[in-house]
Amino acid sequence: MKQERIKTKRFKGIYYRVSTEHKHLGKPDRTFWITWTHNGKKLWENVGSASEKVTEEYAYQRRIEILNKLHAGETPDIRSKRKKITLEYIMRAYLNWKEADGKRVDSDKSRHEKHVKPFFGEMPVQNITPET
Q: What is the longest distance spanned by two Cα atoms in the chain?
A: 61
pLDDT digits (tens, 9 = 90+) for 23-33: 888 888 989 99
Q: Is residue 79 part of a domain?
A: no
* Torsional class of 46: left (φ above 0), alpha (ψ -120 to 50), beta (otherwise): beta
pLDDT for 59 equals: 93
3-state secondary structure of 102: coil
Q: Are 65 and 58 in contact (CB under 8 A)?
A: no
Q: Are residues 57 and 93 in the same domain?
A: no
Q: Is residue 80 part of a domain?
A: no
Q: Is the pLDDT of residue 106 over 80?
A: yes
The CATH number covering residue 14 comes to 3.30.160
Number of structural domains in the chain: 2
- Vertex 36 angle, CA 33 and 75, to 5°: 105
Task: Give the domain range for residue 43.
Answer: 6-71
Q: Are residues 21 and 59 in the same domain?
A: yes
Which residue type does 106 have?
D
Q: Are residues 19 and 66 in the same domain?
A: yes
Q: Is residue 38 part of a domain?
A: yes
Q: What pairing do the DSSP bridges indicate for beta strands 14-24 and 27-38? A: antiparallel
3-state secondary structure of 25: coil
pTM of the model: 0.56
Residue 79 pLDDT class (50, 70, 90 cuts): low
Q: Are residues 65 and 25 in the same domain?
A: yes
